[in-house]
Amino acid sequence: DAAAVYPAAGRRRWHVLLFPLPYQGHINPMFRLAGVLHGRGFAITVFHTDFNAPDPARHPDYRFVPVPVPDGMSGPAPVAIEDVVAHIDAMGRACEAAFRDRLAAVLEEYSRDAVACLVADTHLLPVFEVATRLALPTLALRTGSAASYACFAAYPMLCEKGYLPVQVQDLQLDMPVNELPPFRVRDLIHIGKDSHDLMCEMAARLVTAVTKLSSGLILNTFDALERRELEGVRRDLAVPVFDIGPLHKFSPVGGSSLLCQDRSRLEWLDAWAPESVLYVSFGSLASMSARDLVETAWGIAGSGVPFLWVVRPGLVHGCASEGSHQQQLPEGFEAATRERGRVVAWAPQEEVLRHRAVGGFWTHSGWNSTTESICEGVPMLCRPYFGDQTGNTRYVEHVWRVGFEVGGDLERGSVEAAIRRLMTDKDGAEMRARAGELKKAAAVCTSGKGGSSCMAIDKLVTHIMSL
């Protein structure tokens, strides 16, 4: 009984196929998009690798199609940014042949006419190539900001004009990139000189997927945040651009967390005064040295500010990937902060940020974390590690002015001062007020029929039906 095996297929005629890049920050927006499209009546089929595979039991309405990758690719997530970039590239290539077989089988089973399109992460060029060869239209989901897409698209220019690779760190990093304001060289997506070619290739492949092989670009951003950047991307692209973010406001995360979210501390938050607690999390990939963790910990302790801190397994370099937070934190920290702090391995982040007790977020400035914070009016301390995090920090500090960077070497004294500035100073209160305004602006984009993101979703649905 096909309807029993594929419940969605039994009920719905139009299928949308999805293929997320298997990293948490990419999986979440793709599943949120799935929720939006499913809500509009599409049947959802998710292709996924064994690496960071989703749990089908948490999405009973979707069908899941595993795409095996060779042994060795499904091990623990890489740590260094160079390895992440190489892994992303290798992942796409490694699943190409198996994806071709699985996709062909699905198209035959559903009947080709019943499949509207495939939405794939912009990083998965081979997936776009396979679909195109099978005459299936594709849409590209870029899970970062419009500004970060523009940075990738500008890569050849950035190299030609000598901004990249960064040659002389001290002299070059603060140089403004006049062609891509408000970025300085340090804000661009870049990695070490030795791996520069790898990054150029990643940018080129991503832009090829969008400009040559897709029928549209979906961006998890919204008009109130990036109007100018969206205009720029639209000007440069022949395909339509759908600014349908922030997706988490349309569709709750819906069980796409790879780690178990520890909900036990939400009640603990209830006891604190409004906007008094600092939430600290560096996302799913960023990792720090043991020394930085110690300075971070004692800086948090010394600030006297209540806190909820996510110390996920593997946060500290060299600590076993399954190392618990007790193993990673300095001795004496938990005892010293028991009265006003809690540490968890992974949090229900959206709910934490929504909690009235939370008044600040120390983040690595991943795009999901940034938009989740903005949508709850929570100002940020930013400690970017790699990729688009530097550029997101630039926008937080310089454009939206809802936070500031904790730069340089981490020292407990400067950490303490930064936390106090955000949580108790007038300066921080002003950032919080501006974050509150952005929250309202985001709500206008996502509410009612006239909201820009609502209209973009309508347009996306019409576009999918027309493909």
30/286 with CB nearer ligand UDP: 286
> Does 49 contact ligand UDP by CB under 6 A?
no
Assess 122 for contact with ligand UDP (CB under 6 A): no
Least distance between ligand UDP and beta carbon 344 (Å): 7
| Residue 376 binding ligand UDP, by CB under 6 A | no
- For residues 33 and 119, the answer to whether their CB atoms sit within 8 Å is yes
Q: Hey, which residues are catalytic here?
A: 26, 121
- Residues that bind ligand UDP (rule: CB under 6 A) add up to a total of 21
Rounded to a whole number of angstroms, the minimum distance from the CB of residue 285 to ligand UDP is 5
User: Smallest distance, Å, CB 397 to ligand UDP?
Assistant: 17
For 157-190, b/e burial (b = at least 16 CB within 10 A) is: ebeeeebbbbeeeeebeeeebeebeebbbbbbbb
Using CB under 6 A as the binding rule, whether residue 9 contacts ligand UDP is answered as no
Determine which residue in the list 368, 373, 390, 393 makes contact with ligand UDP, applying CB under 6 A: 368
The tokens for 346 are 């992974």
Count H helices and E strands in the chain, helices first: 22, 13
Of 283 and 451, the one with the shorter C-beta distance to ligand UDP is 283
Residues 6+ apart with CB under 8 A from 363: 281, 282, 283, 369, 370, 373, 380, 381, 382, 383
Q: Report 260-299 residues binding ligand UDP (CB under 6 A).
A: 261, 281, 283-286
The residue written with tokens 């490694």 in the block is 94
Residue 278: its H or E element: strand 277-281
- DSSP H helical segments within 81-145, as ranges? 81-94, 96-110, 125-133
Structure-block tokens of residue 68? 């095996």
Window contacting ligand UDP (CB under 6 A); options: 75-83, 132-140, 343-351, 424-432: 343-351
Residues 226-265 that bind ligand UDP (CB under 6 A): 257, 261
Out of 366, 377, 403, 451, which residue is the one contacting ligand UDP (CB under 6 A)?
A: 366
The residue within the footprint of ligand UDP, chosen from 128, 346, 362, 395 (CB under 6 A), is: 346
CB of 16 to ligand UDP, least distance (A): 21
29: Cβ contacts below 8 Å, ≥ 6 apart: 141, 143, 220, 247, 248, 368
Q: Is 11 exposed, middle or buried (0-12, 13-18, 19+ CB in 10 A)?
A: exposed
For residues 387 and 206, give the distance between their C-alpha atoms in angstroms, rounded to a whole number. 14
Q: Give the residue with the Cβ less far from ligand UDP, 223 or 376.
A: 376
Taking CB under 6 A as the rule, does residue 403 contact ligand UDP? Answer: no
Binding site for ligand UDP (CB under 6 A): 23-25, 28, 257, 261, 281, 283-286, 310, 346-347, 349-350, 366-369, 372
